[in-house]
Amino acid sequence: MQKLSGLDAMFLYLETQKTPMHIAGLSVCQPPEGYDGDAYEDFKAQIASRLHEIPAFHRILRPTPFEIDHPVWINADEVDMDYHIQRAHLPKPGRLEQLRLLIQRLHSQVLDRSRPLWQFHIIEGLEDEDFNLKPGTFALYTKSHHACVDGGAGISVMDIISDREPTPRPPLPKSQIRLSSQEPGFFEMLGSAYGRMLQQQVDLVAALPKISSAFSNVVRSFGGENSWSLKDLAPAPKTRFNTRIEQQRAYGAQTLSLPEVIAVAKAAGATINDVVLSICGGALRLYLARHNELPEKSLIAGVPVSLRELGDTSTNNQVAGILCAIGTDIDDPVERLKAVQAAAKRGKAQIGSVREVIPQDYNIFGAPAVLTIMSQLADRTSLIERMPAFLNVAISNVPGPRRPMYFAGSKVVGYFPVSIAAHGCALNITLHSYVDRLDFGLMACKKTVPDVQDIADDIVGEFRRLQAAVEGATAAKGAATTKKKAASPNGKTKAPRKAPAKRKPRTTKTTRGNGQTTQPGG
């Protein structure tokens, strides 16, 4: 038995038919030359052989008695592979646009909570000459509930089910993986719930010194250049993204060259995240301007920050977040990048001052019932639209593998994220780095942002604007520096200094302390 943390359980409580709370990935795969097998059957067999290596894929939910505490995970008696791994086929001609429409439909469907909370879809018939997708190319859509995994944990799962070489590795022996099959009893779960609530109060008392220290850090730095200020308490401007959403989804995708993004970030003295936030801000500026909805104040992005330690491969959620202005009020791409860089630096400093006391777990008596009712209230009323907005859009960068992945011998040529839209945040922009690519996936409420692909395309356009501006500024600066070094104060080039001539040994006389003189060596 493993009880969900408060953060994990929150994704269960937030879920309704209108707000599915699963995250997903979309991999575009190309079989090797001469492949004549069945991609679906080959992939299904590979996952079946490795399923024991992913404990999260064996677990199902059990509520605590009277729902006084968060649910627990128990191991399922069996995993129905025909349900969890399904097959789809695009109608001819099998273009990427058709794939996007299918992903929109699949992502709108909630997962069955009576089963382990994951599902894979092999999508065949993908062929698009415009994107160099050859016949036989297929897509793999993998979704898991956010209560099971976060973005970082999802990458770890992909590392297990994929290979680093075209030849699949043998699965780990089942004897190395321990899965408990014992289901907890009524009184065991009830006692665990009360015991955990009591333990959390003890932990809170023990954490008081850290909480006090974090509060002191905030107070001391309040109003500082890179820390808390009254501006941080101001609400974000209301936009079409701050609305109650419907069940249908719209999906957009685009790709940038990772080496090019790194080069721009380096030349501008910024980070990859700074560049990403800046070009997303530029794209949203264009989008809202086209709809005559651009506010004077900058939009605010909610940016997840991983709290996962290096090497931690557990699948629970370990994440916090910062709020960052993304410069939608600035047209110049370089000036926007500078503004975003300063805002991101301030956000990182803010979360750094309280990082040690950010709660990843909480217990509230009756939390499942109370928080689910609150979610239903947001689902059925316009309450979210009457409340002040603290953010407009979610933007997340999930580091992915820097080496190629293979599924049953087929090479992954693109790896796009598919994330979550929610009430009050109808647009989510997530990106994965993969080998030398940055793959963007934009998920939105279809009613609110039906043309989400336009934003994805504008992200690429805004990057090109920023790239040209940074390269132009760098070239101009380099030319000015070269000209300055080449000219002396009188306008002439300085001649190189000659090396001093070799000197002969000295033969001068020296004087002793008694006033007599001697030759050297005398």
- pLDDT per position as a tens digit, 236-287: 999 999 999 999 999 999 999 999 999 999 999 999 999 999 999 999 999 9
Non-local (6+) Cβ contacts of 308 within 8 A are: 150, 152, 153, 318, 319
299 neighbors 312 (Cβ within 8 angstroms): no
Residue of 29, 48, 25, 49 whose CA lies nearest to 37: 29
Average pLDDT over residues 130-148: 90
- Residue 125's identity, in one-letter code, is G
183-187, 366-370, 509-513, range with the lowest pLDDT: 509-513
- Please report which confidence band the pLDDT of residue 478 belongs to, taking 50, 70 and 90 as the band edges: confident
> How do residues 359-411 score in pLDDT, each as one tens digit?
556 666 667 778 888 888 889 898 898 899 999 999 999 988 999 999 999 99
- Say how far residue 365 (Cα) sits from the centre of its chain: 32
Work out the pLDDT band at 22, boundaries 50, 70, 90: very high
What is the predicted pLDDT for the residue at 278? 98
Stronger pLDDT, 140 or 499, i.e. the higher one: 140
pLDDT of residue 165: 95
Candidate from 9-23, 382-396, 399-413, 469-483 with smallest mean pLDDT:
469-483
CATH class for domain 2-476?
alpha beta
Between helix 208-221 and helix 333-354 the angle, nearest 10°, is: 140
Which residue did the predictor score with more confidence, 179 or 505?
A: 179
Q: Please, which contacts does 316-319 make with residues 24 or more away whose CB atoms are closer than 8 Å?
A: 316/5, 316/7, 316/8, 316/149, 316/150, 316/153, 317/5, 317/7, 317/8, 317/11, 317/146, 317/147, 317/149, 317/150, 317/153, 317/360, 318/150, 318/152, 318/360, 319/7, 319/150, 319/151, 319/152
> What's the rounded mean pLDDT across residues 21-50?
94
The yes-or-no verdict on residue 449 having pLDDT over 60 is yes
Say yes or no to pLDDT of 93 above 80: yes
Distance CA 509, CA 518 (A): 6
Q: Say yes or no to pLDDT of 104 above 90.
A: yes
pLDDT of residue 216: 62
pLDDT at 476: 80
Catalytic pick among 146, 291, 423, 432: 146
Tens digits of residue pLDDT in 277-332: 999 999 999 999 999 999 999 999 999 887 666 665 565 666 678 899 999 999 99
Question: Distance between CA 479 and CA 476 in Å, rounded?
Answer: 5
505 vs 104: which has the higher pLDDT: 104
What is the percent of the chain with per-residue pLDDT over 90, rounded to a whole number? Answer: 56
Residue 315: both structure tokens together: 């699948």
pLDDT interval class at 469 (50, 70, 90): very high
Q: What is the pLDDT of residue 482?
A: 73
Region of residue 515 (phi > 0: left; psi between -120 and 50: alpha; otherwise: beta): left
Can you tell me the distance from the alpha carbon of 432 to that of 258, in angstroms, rounded to the nearest whole number?
A: 10
Q: Tell me the HSE value of 52 on the side-chain side, using a 13 A CA sphere.
A: 13
- Write out the two tokens for 476: 């101009």
Q: What is the chain's mean pLDDT, rounded?
A: 84
User: pLDDT tier at 222 (50, 70, 90 boundaries)?
Assistant: low
Contact of 414 with 433, CB cutoff 8 Å = no
Active-site annotation holds for 146: yes
Burial of 268 from C-beta contacts in 10 A (0-12 / 13-18 / 19+)? buried
Instruction: Write out pLDDT tens, residues 36-76.
Output: 999 999 999 999 999 989 988 999 999 888 778 888 899 89
Residue 522 reports pLDDT greater than 50: no
What confidence tier does 473 reach under pLDDT thresholds 50, 70, 90? confident
Please state the domain extents for the chain: 2-476
Radius of gyration (Cα) for the chain, nearest Å?
30
Do the Cβ atoms of 123 and 137 come closer than 8 Å?
Answer: no
When mean pLDDT is compared over 119-128, 198-207, 513-522, the highest value belongs to 119-128
Instruction: Identify the band that residue 521 occupies on the pLDDT scale cut at 50, 70 and 90.
Output: very low
Return d(Cα 285, Cα 298) in angstroms, integer.
9
Residue 510 confidence (pLDDT):
39
- Please tell me the predicted confidence (pLDDT) of residue 300: 97
Q: Which residues pair with 419 in a beta bridge?
A: none
Q: Find, among 517, 498, 449, 366, the residue nearest to 13 by Cα.
A: 366
